[in-house]
Structure 1
Amino acid sequence: MQIRSRLTYQFTYLVSAILFVSYFIIYIFTQENYKDKFYSRLRQKANTTAQLLVNVNQVDSKLMGIIGQTNRDLLFRESILVYDLCNERIYASNDSINLHIDVDLIKQVRQKQEITFQREDIEVLGTVFATPQGRLVVFAGAVDQYSAENAKDLKNILIALFLLFILIVVLSGWFFAGQAVNPISEVIQQVDKLSPKRLEERLKSPDFEDEIGKMVSTVNRLLERIENAFKLQKTFIANVSHELKNPLTKISSQLEVSLLKERESGDYKKTISSVLEDTQELAAITESLLELNKLSLSDSQAGFHEWRIDEILWEARSLTQKLNSAYKVSIDTSHMPEDEEMLLIKADDKLILTALKNLMENACKFSPSKSAQVSFKNSGNSIQIFVRNEGKGIPANDLPYIFQPFFRGENTASSKGYGIGLSLVERIVQLHNGQISVVSVPDSYTEFTVNFAVASR
């Protein structure tokens, strides 16, 4: 079911329920009002008849009958009965109508002062009329013909109004629901026009303050991330193709040269050794790709435990210096907090070790002195790690791309590598909900800053 139809139905159901309850209450209260007015007329007739019998001399039942017949306020099948102190009937306005009044009913009226009851279709009111000689009991009954007719007319009017208003509600609900969903339809049309070749386009909304505008803003941010992902994918494929093409071309060229003519065993050994080196390079690239893909697919922190960051730093330093005897890594502990708990982070120690070792190795590799300076400090609820080296620095044009896989800047052409290390570092830091940033001054220094949250107790 479309949103427009659903909104119309819901709006119709709601208004119908409100109208039904309102009209039902109106009908019930009107019925009660009609009944109260009818009994008020019966009470007035009973009191008037009793007053004439008691207060006016020489008034008998015959004269009361004549007076009753000339009364313009005569009710349908009206009957009035009056009983004296001995519960004997002293007056009856209509002998053809029997209200079936017994002594128990008369006593009940004397006790309760006033009662109402029904005899077939006749509504009867019994009341007490006080006189100097005692209390008379008067019963006044009649058929409430006009109230029934008025109630029937009111019911027909309310039903007609209910159906009319429901029709108006359906039409207006359909119209306003259409007005409400029109912006969504426009957004759908804009989204249908999007394609991988037109990801630079963004959705438009007349009002960015309402829910639809916020949805459009969210979709636009999603499109921006998708566009960046596509660009990153294209760059990744181009860089991977380039990195894999070089060793494959070298292997193919060396094998083709070896097959041109017969050669000595020493030449074949050299060729095989060179091919083996290129093959190992391909294996290293493939392994790096698998490791990067593994990290990209992993978002679980279930296996994280608490580790001291200083111990991981010292182990990373030891592993980095074993890679090359010329590498020197110094760790500054002058800002080390006195509370050991401020050094704890919740992490996978092997992944953090890999990230820090890569940062230290890069710092040593691109430093003329093959050295790196590492320091760390606690900043409230976080631990900051600084890895710095002195050298050529990173060109400003290369800084936005250094964390992309297989990207290698101009100043790295003379160094062996595949451009995957910093991508691994960034992914590991993100997996631990940390942040990494870099500041580089050409011909001066480069400093990476890694921020981890302190493990909460």
Structure 2
Amino acid sequence: MKIRHRLTLLFTAIMGAILLAFAFAIYFSYASNREEEFYRQLRQQAITKANLLFDAQVDPEILQTIYRNTRNSHYQEEVAIYDTGFNLLYHDAVDLDFVKETADMMAEIRQKQEIQFKQEGLQVVGFLFSYQGKNYIITAAAYDENGYTKLWNLRLSLVVALVVGIIIIFLTGRFFSRQALQPVAAMVDKAGRITATNIDLRLPEGNGKDEISELAITFNQMLDRLEGSLESQRHFVSNVSHELRTPLAAIIAELELARSQKRTSEAYESAIDNALSDARKLTRLSTGMLDLAKASYDQAAIKFKEVRLDELLLDARLQVLRANPDYHIHIAFDTAFEDDNDIAILGNEYLLRTAFSNLMENGCKFSPARQSDITIGFDAVQTHICFKDQGIGIPQEEQQQVFEAFYRGSNRSYAEGNGIGLSLTHKIVKLHKGEISLVSEPGLGTTFTLSFRHL
């Protein structure tokens, strides 16, 4: 069931229940008031007849004649008057005698002074009446035909009003639910047209104040992130295909050239060496891309634990020197530390080691002395690691782009690379909620500074 149908039915049910409660309250209140009012009328009519009998000395036969002639009146009551000894003094219609008074009834009236009850559809009242110092017991009974007719008409009116009201409420609720959810329907229609080819489309955000607008804004923000991710993937795939194509083409060319005719063993060895060199480039490229993909994971998907930065730096140094024996890497502390927590953070060992290795390799690779100097310092909140070299430096206009994947600046002719290392390092630092900055002057070297919040 659609939301607007559920809202319509829920609104109709709630309002219908409220109307029904009001209808019951009105009906039972009117019924109670009618009953009390008719008992008062009965008592007053009985007192009037008693006054005619005792005070005006009207002959009882005349009163009975009047009763018989007006018996079909809506409010014609049957009155009986007794003394306290249960002796009948007057009765409107002894032949009918609806009430059929008993000694127990008389005793109850004397005790309570007034009683009210219903008998065979009639309302009956019995009470004590005093006249000239004497007490009399009077009973009066009648059927409130007019009152019951009005009560029936009221009940019919309430039922009709309730049915008509529920229909109006249902139609009104249907209209307002459709109006209220119209922006959602527009959002659904617009979202259904958004695909990977037109992900730049956005949902209408309305007035930007209500909950539906907040939903549209949140959805558009998600689309912004998806569009950025897709754009990054397209850029990544484009760069990867370009980077892979070059060494693969070189390997194929070398092998085809070697196979085209008989050559000396030295020529074959040269072709094999060239092919191996290109294959190693492919290996480094694939490893870098895998690390870049791993660094792009959500933090919740990566295992973090307490690690010491100095130990990771030593491991990274050993790894780099094992692959490049001619490199020179020096690690030193700015100040001595007393608490291990000053150089410990929550992080992923593999990713941090990869980031440190990339910075060490970059410092040595672009430095004539093949040297990188690393210093570790800390303050009350963060641990700072500086990677400094005396290399060729990075021009000012290129410093904002060095962290982009596959970007290679004007120094690409100085050393081989694929433009992944610094981008990967930047992602790893951000994944650890750290900061990375660089200071560089062409010809004077470059310093990368990493800052992490320590334990």
- Give the TM interval when normalised to the shorter protein: 0.7 to 0.9
| 3-state SS of paired residue (2:100) | coil
- C-alpha spacing 1:49/1:58, structure 2 compared with 1 (3 Å): closer
| 3-state SS of paired residue (2:417) | coil
| 3-state SS of paired residue (1:407) | coil
CA distance in 2, matches of 1:81, 1:36: 21
Task: Work out whether 1:375 is the aligned partner of 2:376.
Answer: yes
Task: Give the counterpart letter for 1:62 in structure 2.
Answer: E
- More off after superposition, 118-127 vs 283-292: 283-292
| Residue in 2 that maps onto 1:312 | 312
| Residue in 1 that maps onto 2:329 | 328
- C-alpha spacing 1:326/1:431, structure 2 compared with 1 (3 Å): closer
- C-alpha spacing 1:274/1:116, structure 2 compared with 1 (3 Å): same
- More off after superposition, 135-144 vs 400-409: 400-409
- C-alpha spacing 1:368/1:108, structure 2 compared with 1 (3 Å): farther
**Alignment deviations for residues 309-349 of structure 1 (CA, whole Å, 9 cap, x no partner):** 44434544554555454333444433x77554454433333
| 3-state SS of paired residue (2:422) | helix
The 5 Å alignment of 1:121-140 reads 121-130=121-130, 133=133, 135-140=135-140
CA distance in 1, matches of 2:232, 2:44: 96
- More off after superposition, 29-38 vs 266-275: 266-275
> Deviation of residue 149 (structure 1)?
0.9
| Residue in 2 that maps onto 1:82 | 81
| Residue in 2 that maps onto 1:154 | 154
Task: Give the counterpart letter for 1:33 in structure 2.
Answer: N
- C-alpha spacing 1:109/1:422, structure 2 compared with 1 (3 Å): farther
> Is contact 2:376–2:385 with CA below 8 Å preserved after alignment?
yes
- C-alpha spacing 1:340/1:264, structure 2 compared with 1 (3 Å): closer
| 3-state SS of paired residue (2:115) | strand
- More off after superposition, 271-280 vs 319-328: 319-328
- More off after superposition, 358-367 vs 237-246: 358-367
> Is contact 1:184–1:212 with CA below 8 Å preserved after alignment?
yes
| Residue in 1 that maps onto 2:290 | 290
| 3-state SS of paired residue (1:276) | helix
> Is contact 1:438–1:446 with CA below 8 Å preserved after alignment?
no
> Deviation of residue 378 (structure 1)?
4.0
> Is contact 1:364–1:372 with CA below 8 Å preserved after alignment?
no
CA distance in 1, matches of 2:80, 2:101: 9
Task: Give the counterpart letter for 2:378 in structure 1.
Answer: K
Unpaired runs of 5+ in structure 2? none
> Is contact 1:232–1:404 with CA below 8 Å preserved after alignment?
no
> Is contact 1:77–1:97 with CA below 8 Å preserved after alignment?
no
Unpaired runs of 5+ in structure 1? none
TM-score (norm 1): 0.84
> Is contact 1:436–1:448 with CA below 8 Å preserved after alignment?
no
Task: Work out whether 1:142 is the aligned partner of 2:136.
Answer: no
- More off after superposition, 128-137 vs 218-227: 128-137
- C-alpha spacing 1:327/1:24, structure 2 compared with 1 (3 Å): farther
- C-alpha spacing 1:344/1:71, structure 2 compared with 1 (3 Å): farther
CA distance in 1, matches of 2:85, 2:390: 127
> Is contact 2:329–2:360 with CA below 8 Å preserved after alignment?
no
- More off after superposition, 87-96 vs 439-448: 439-448
Task: Work out whether 1:411 is the aligned partner of 2:414.
Answer: no
> Deviation of residue 69 (structure 1)?
6.7
**Alignment deviations for residues 140-170 of structure 1 (CA, whole Å, 9 cap, x no partner):** 2111212221111112222222232233323
| Residue in 2 that maps onto 1:196 | 196
> Is contact 2:366–2:414 with CA below 8 Å preserved after alignment?
no
The 5 Å alignment of 1:1-12 reads 1-12=1-12
> Is contact 1:68–1:74 with CA below 8 Å preserved after alignment?
no
> Is contact 1:329–1:360 with CA below 8 Å preserved after alignment?
no
> Is contact 2:42–2:77 with CA below 8 Å preserved after alignment?
no
| Residue in 2 that maps onto 1:347 | 347
| 3-state SS of paired residue (1:128) | strand
> Is contact 1:78–1:94 with CA below 8 Å preserved after alignment?
no
TM-score (norm 2): 0.85
The 5 Å alignment of 1:57-136 reads 58-59=57-58, 61-65=60-64, 75-76=74-75, 78-95=77-94, 96-130=96-130, 133=133, 135-136=135-136
| Residue in 2 that maps onto 1:18 | 18
> Is contact 1:374–1:385 with CA below 8 Å preserved after alignment?
yes
- C-alpha spacing 1:175/1:394, structure 2 compared with 1 (3 Å): farther
Q: In angstroms, what is the RMSD of aligned CA positions?
A: 3.4
- C-alpha spacing 1:105/1:371, structure 2 compared with 1 (3 Å): same
Task: Give the counterpart letter for 1:128 in structure 2.
Answer: L
| 3-state SS of paired residue (1:90) | strand
**Alignment deviations for residues 379-431 of structure 1 (CA, whole Å, 9 cap, x no partner):** 54x55545455655445554555444433333234222233333433443454
